[in-house]
Amino acid sequence: MRRLLTATICATFCFVTLQAEEWRVRTLCAGDVTVTCRQPDEWKFDFKVDSVDGKEIIVVTLAADSALIPPRFDVILSVPQLDVHHLWRPGDIDRCQLRPEWMGYYTSHLAFDMPIYAFINDKNDNRLTVTASEPLRKVDAQFGLVEEGSNLLGKLSYFNGPQAPMSRYETRIMLDPRPVMWSEAVRGGAEWMTSEAGLKPVVAPQASFEPLYSTWYNFHQNVTADGVERECLAASRLGMKTIILDDGWQTDDNNRGYAFCGDWEVSHNRFPDFASHVKRVQDMGMKYMVWYSVPYVGKKSRNYERFKGKYLSESGDACVLDPRFPEVREFLCSTYENAMKKYGLDGFKLDFIDSFNFDNVDPAEAENYAGRDIKSLPDAINALMKEVYRRLSAIRPDVLIEFRQRYMGPAMRQYGNMFRAGDCPADLQGNRQRIANLRLTSGESAVHSDMLEWNLAETPENAARHILSALFGVVQYSMMLGDLPESHIEIMKHWLDFTQKHRETLLKSEFRPYHPEACYPVIEAESDDELIVAVYNDMCVADIKTSVKPTYVINATGAPSLVLDMPAVPRRVLAYDVYGREAVAPEVVKGMQRVAVPISGYIKVEY
């Protein structure tokens, strides 16, 4: 049965039927939006459409007389492909490809991406951004091009897979067709989702914006107290303020798996006196954070037998804990709490939260949820992580907690204040894309680069390009500093100084990344005091938009010149090379021109 709901926008639609499988809701910006449910059974569906500041919000409400497994339903829109060339989504690094609809399948949930999808054009304009208000539960999506007639399909699917019983559910879907820069629409979608869900992100302390040293790419699991302290001394002298001790501290095994996770006891062979080691590093002026793989209990750990029957899945060399058991949540919370107290830690890198997931079947269903005080998995993850943050922040209010892309977004911002780009070792382009995407959806949380590494035989200019691609995030380094040539140490020192001097602009001011389909060839950050423009492709034009503020134009291209479109003739131009040393300044005039800029250096334009 089909029902067409038509009325003035802002009116409320309350059509209820037990047999209906399809409803249509009329919108101004996307025409008829269809809601389908194959088996509504005892569930009643209500709808309304609101118009707010040029955007439309579709509200879908489900209700039942008692707690039942909710039915799958889809919200589907179709619009003509007019001036739409790309699809942007969080965590995506495939150049915003607009795939055919039979390839465009995506998903999101509390610990994986976010339900934001933006149709954009080649001129950085938003054409239609679709945002769902659901930050916790899984939302499957299908967005792409329908071959017949070149139309765009957008479909959001709710309640796929195992679900816990409930009696009421409401979701909101915002359609934003405003002709604004696409990044403004995406940022607005993330802010709206946070507000609609009533979520309160934790405050990011100043320390979360300080440059950081990680042990992962340089040490991997081969960490020792002496080796880490030696590197921390060099890092602190360069201006790094935090260390993350990654995997390896808890095991003597070096096989890079997770078979020994779960006991979380310090290896005395690697760290004979861990508390004293932490204190020595902190005395160098560095915060100390430690890595934990939150869900994993390895099959070679003593705790493997302890939690038998309390796993979501068992495969490979490690099992995934089920946080719906109160004793599982207590085990994890007390593990971090006791470690912070015992060793004087400043924070944690809490990893693999996206592994809290089902292998198609919920083991609780066959057991009638025995022993579990929370039936919904996303609700249990939410309860666990809120309690982790509550207990750790009670000990240290400025606790540092890092999460990794793709477990990011409004829900995750309730429990952590540092969001790192997903792993992309030595991939400067991938790092730049990941950082830019995170910046648009992370609000005032600190966004970090993936750890930087490069070959020791690289030229200083090419080594510096890894740093410049991470410039708009907090830079994490993972080089063996004691092995670096002096020229690389000099460039690190210069750019660490630059990023600290301009931190407010780079990390906390207006952020404008251009052309995601081309891997962000130009990125800008502008504060009240200055404009910083980084150019990553020497064939792109950097349009300098101000003639009243000091402007820094950074050459991260590998070529000795850039194409600039200048708004006016500057009063003075200064040039600096990769080491920050003053170089020969180019002549700059009004209008478009190719300007000599040192490779991995920059010019400062004053008006």
Which residue is listed with tokens 């997931």? 357
DSSP 8-state class, residue 474: B
* pLDDT > 60? residue 3: no
d(CA 603, CA 199): 42
The fraction of the chain above a pLDDT of 90, given in percent, is 93
Is 25:49 a contact under the CB 8 Å cutoff? Answer: yes
Is 561:553 a contact under the CB 8 Å cutoff? Answer: no
* pLDDT > 90? residue 255: no
Name the strand (E) or helix (H) holding 485. Answer: none
* The two structure tokens encoding residue 45: 């569906």
Task: Kindly report the length of the chain.
Answer: 607
- CATH numeric code, 2-196: 2.60.40
* pLDDT > 90? residue 8: no
Q: Judge whether 2-196 and 209-293+331-353+398-502 match in fold.
A: no
- CATH numeric code, 209-293+331-353+398-502: 3.20.20.70
d(CA 146, CA 143): 9
First to last CA, the chain: 67
* pLDDT > 80? residue 218: yes
2: Cβ–Cβ under 8 A, 6 or more apart, which residues? Answer: 20, 21, 22, 23, 24
- pLDDT digits 0-9 by tens, 18-74: 355 899 999 999 999 999 999 999 999 999 999 999 999 999 999 999 999 999 999
The separation between CA 567 and the C-alpha centre of its own chain, rounded to angstroms, equals 35
Q: Where are the domains of the chain?
A: 2-196, 209-293+331-353+398-502, 510-606
The separation between CA 240 and the C-alpha centre of its own chain, rounded to angstroms, equals 23
Please give the angle made by the CA atoms of 229, 231 and 236, to the nearest 5 degrees: 90
d(CA 258, CA 296): 7
Question: How high is the pLDDT of residue 11?
Answer: 35
What long-range pairs does 456-463 form, CB within 8 A, spacing at least 24? 456/483, 456/484, 456/485, 456/488, 458/488, 460/487, 460/488, 460/490, 460/491, 460/578, 460/579, 460/600, 461/558, 461/578, 461/599, 461/600, 462/558, 462/600, 463/488, 463/491
Is 329:335 a contact under the CB 8 Å cutoff? Answer: no
**Mean of per-residue pLDDT scores for the chain:** 94
Reported as a pLDDT band with limits 50, 70 and 90, residue 94 is: confident
Of residues 428, 472, 418, the one with CA closest to residue 451: 428
Q: Calculate Rg over the CA atoms of the chain.
A: 26
Averaged pLDDT for residues 464-483: 98
d(CA 113, CA 132): 12
Of the two residues 289 and 16, the one the predictor is more confident about is 289
* pLDDT > 50? residue 334: yes
d(CA 233, CA 462): 25
Question: How high is the pLDDT of residue 20?
Answer: 52
- pLDDT digits 0-9 by tens, 598-607: 999 999 999 9
3-state SS assignment for residue 308: coil
Alpha helices, DSSP H only, in 257-406? Answer: 274-282, 303-306, 326-343, 363-366, 377-395
- pLDDT digits 0-9 by tens, 337-357: 999 999 999 999 999 999 999
DSSP 139-180: EEEEEEEETTTTEEEEEEEES-S----EEEEEEEEEEE--SS
Question: How high is the pLDDT of residue 310?
Answer: 97
Greatest C-alpha distance within the chain: 77
The fraction of the chain above a pLDDT of 70, given in percent, is 97
Which residue is listed with tokens 């691609």? 469
Of 313-322, 542-551, 574-583, the range with the highest mean pLDDT is 574-583
